[in-house]
Amino acid sequence: MSETEINLPDNFIHEIIRKDLEAGKNGGAVKTRFPPEPNGYLHIGHAKSICLNFGTAQKFGGKFNLRLDDTNPVKEDTEYVESILEDVKWLGADWEDRFFHASDYFDQMYEYAVQLIKMGKAYVCELSEEEFKEYRGTLTEPGKEPPGRKRTIEENLDLFERMKAGEFPDGSKVLRARIDMASPNIHMRDPAIYRIRHADHHNTGSKWCIYPLYDFAHCLEDAIEGITHSICTLEFEIHRPLYDWILNTLDTPCKPQQIEFARLNLTYTVMSKRKLLELVKTGLVNGWDDPRMPTICGMRRRGIPASAIRDFCETIGVTKFNSLTEIELLDHCVRDDLNKSARRAMAVMNPLKLVIDNYPEGQVEEVETVNNPEDPAAGTRKVPFSKTLYIERDDFMENPVKQFHRLAVGKEVRLRSAYFVTCTSFVKDENGEIVELHATYDPATKGGNASDGRKVKGTIHWVSADQSLEAEVRLYDKLFTVPDLSAIPEDADWKSYLNPESLKVAKCRIEPGLAELPPGTHVQFERIGYFFSDPKDHSKEHPVFNRTVALKDSWSKIVKKA
RNA sequence: AACCCUGUGGUGUAAUGGCAGCACAAGUGGUUUUGGUCCACUUAGUUCAGGUUCGAGUCCUGACAGGGUUGCCA
């Protein structure tokens, strides 16, 4: 048992594998795969599957394949292939040289289908779609024998050959497995395994006009690749008898085992490809990589590290229970990761001018401050300090409540890494709004410590008015206003539950060094939250920061209680 | 409706017939040059009814609840 194995908790799938290994199944091999269909972008739910499949292979010293499940040319597109590769790689799942396409196996699948026909276990059926349904029966009534079921092997071979040759129009015929029209499991009632589609395929071009269906194709893909444990989501559970039937009927290189787990559901978001596509298509979000999206690329652009996603996937576990995970757990994993890794900086969201009356006019000094108190190796930096600063509007109260530890007339606070200042007065404009604060500083508190040992309760952040720069911040919040989208009324439009405040664009004042950060850099704005210089839009001339997640805020709870 | 799967604190999970534990969330207190982090503590759980057993969250039966299946999608 390796050291990593001890550290990672087992889930029920690992238990199955462990037993298989002990029983000597598969010659001690463990091989998994992630088989996305290239018809959409990957999301956090896929990340769960990727982490599970890759993590399982790693845990047992096995192999992990990446395979595009591209058996339906009319739904799939190369547009998605690139993003899938990028996202899986970014998440850290390494398929080495094992990147495959289901369509790479079309020749073999065709041969397997011919085999089935020769065994009398498959036949060509020319029922229309409507008739097909009629013959299939219902959940409560058995199906009845389709006319084509009695056809001879020779006829079936000939017909299937001609289907392949393009002699028949789309939908006029299918190849069906001959199993049991009376099975209580509808998927076993002679399922279609090949359909005619005169469509170009993104990988095989115009070579084929017949394409295998999922149930026939997937188990064969697994078998061809030598997959030992084929992990999929719960909705395929009822397909498992068919998966096994095909592998047991045909002489395949191996007999992979399908194991189902519950897909991830997260509060305040949607995971369905259809809905995500609709959000993109209708412009309700700004593309697949909109940081509000639960897509991998959206989360990446928001500033969520791959390591945090991996940690999250490890934390939620793997079961067959249909659960709804709170988004707060993801937030926790993100904060936990970024707390250790993100350098700190000061930025003022709602600037209020603070003039230090006893500070020399025109003087600018540089104060030294730590880049990350959690990581001494991150070093220190210099931040310009001067007579006129900006502080956070919320850090001053005209009539301070009892527990308020920040600025008010007569109160002393520490300006982070700089000096103690005491507020002396404030200025209001004609509307009664506070526009300026006046204070005095104590030169003996440079760096933020009093030589006489006196303490202050509050420490606030600041930027120098003249030296600070303007930046754009994009403040992201929950995509939806309700936690459980599956619980909304049937007749309601799910889009009407979108959170109108899921994105707020604002201006802020940043310490000058922040503009120099390259795009795609994590940073904590102290006392505010974790931000990420936007990979596409951030530049030195026009700094743009995405709020990844806000810092935990216990002050707001105190306020709420009072 | 028929068949299949699943039910452990508010949420996500652990227990492999033997003291129901962990994390998140919530709350209280402490530390702190971020009302962040960190530390300590508190609240709170085996869906129900039978059965097997010295002993059941775990095994059996039934009920109840939730989910899936009824595409020539995956």
CB of A192 nearer than 7 A to strand B = yes
* CA A275 to C1' B26, whole Å: 33
CB of A374 nearer than 7 A to strand B = yes
- Here the tokens at position A205 are 């071009």
Residue-wise pLDDT tens for chain A (562 aa)?
A: 333 333 456 899 999 999 999 999 999 999 999 999 999 999 999 999 999 999 999 999 999 999 999 999 999 889 899 999 999 999 999 999 999 999 999 999 999 999 999 999 999 999 999 999 999 999 999 999 999 999 999 999 999 999 999 999 999 999 999 999 999 999 999 999 999 999 999 999 999 999 999 999 999 999 999 999 999 999 999 999 999 999 999 999 999 999 999 999 999 999 999 999 999 999 999 999 999 999 999 999 999 999 999 999 999 999 999 999 999 999 999 999 999 999 999 999 999 999 999 999 999 999 999 999 999 999 999 999 999 999 999 999 999 998 999 999 999 999 999 999 999 999 999 999 999 999 999 999 999 999 898 999 999 999 999 999 999 999 999 999 999 999 998 889 999 999 999 999 999 999 999 999 999 999 999 999 999 999 999 999 999 999 999 999 999 999 987 7
pLDDT digits (tens, 9 = 90+) for A274-316: 999 999 999 999 999 999 999 999 999 999 999 999 999 999 9
CB of A316 nearer than 7 A to strand B = yes
Query: CB of A422 within 8 A of CB of A374?
Result: no
A445: nt with nearest C1' to CA: B33
Q: What angle do CA A506, A509, A512 make, to 5 degrees?
A: 135
- Which residues on adjacent β-strands are paired with residue A345? A525
**A273 belongs to the catalytic site:** yes
pLDDT of residue A8: 56
* CA A23 to C1' B70, whole Å: 38
| Phi/psi at A32 (5° precision) | -120, 175
- Here the tokens at position A223 are 């078998």
Among A74, A174, A72, smallest CA distance to A133 is for A174
What is the DSSP secondary structure assignment for residue A552, as one 8-state letter?
P
* CA A329 to C1' B43, whole Å: 20
* CA A527 to C1' B46, whole Å: 41
Query: CB of A350 within 8 A of CB of A525?
Result: no
CB of A190 nearer than 7 A to strand B = no
Catalytic residue among A25, A98, A255, A263: A263
pLDDT of residue A10: 87
Q: Which amino acid is at A126?
A: E
* CA A399 to C1' B53, whole Å: 70
* CA A40 to C1' B73, whole Å: 13
pLDDT digits (tens, 9 = 90+) for A342-355: 999 999 999 999 99
* CA A59 to C1' B32, whole Å: 40
- Here the tokens at position A173 are 């015929």
Please spell the DSSP secondary structure of A418-431, one letter per residue: S-EEEEEEEEE-TT
**A507 belongs to the catalytic site:** no
Residues 6+ apart with CB under 8 A from A5: A59
Catalytic residue among A37, A134, A278, A472: A37
- Here the tokens at position A558 are 């105190």
Query: CB of A32 within 8 A of CB of A231?
Result: yes
Q: Are strands A122-125 and A529-533 parallel, antiparallel or unpaired?
A: unpaired
CB-proximal positions of chain B, under 7 Å: 1-8, 10-16, 23-28, 33-38, 66-74
* CA A318 to C1' B9, whole Å: 19
Q: How many CA atoms lie within 13 A of A249 on its CB side?
A: 23
* Window A511-550, strand B contacts by Cβ < 7 Å: 524, 526-527
Residue closest to sugar C1' of B16 by CA: A15
- Which residues on adjacent β-strands are paired with residue A522? A532
Catalytic residue among A98, A273, A381, A446: A273
**A189 belongs to the catalytic site:** no
How far apart CA A140 and CA A447 sit, in angstroms, is: 78
A75: nt with nearest C1' to CA: B73
Please, is A398 exposed, middle or buried when counting C-beta atoms within 10 Å of its C-beta (0-12, 13-18, 19+)?
Answer: exposed
A10: nt with nearest C1' to CA: B14
CB of A185 nearer than 7 A to strand B = yes
- Here the tokens at position A273 are 């490809």
* CA A185 to C1' B53, whole Å: 37
How far apart CA A42 and CA A84 sit, in angstroms, is: 6
CB of A183 nearer than 7 A to strand B = no
CB of A236 nearer than 7 A to strand B = yes
A448: nt with nearest C1' to CA: B33
CB of A555 nearer than 7 A to strand B = yes
Extract the runs of DSSP E, i.e. beta strands, from A279-363: 343-345, 347-348, 351-356
Please, is A246 exposed, middle or buried when counting C-beta atoms within 10 Å of its C-beta (0-12, 13-18, 19+)?
Answer: buried
A140: nt with nearest C1' to CA: B2
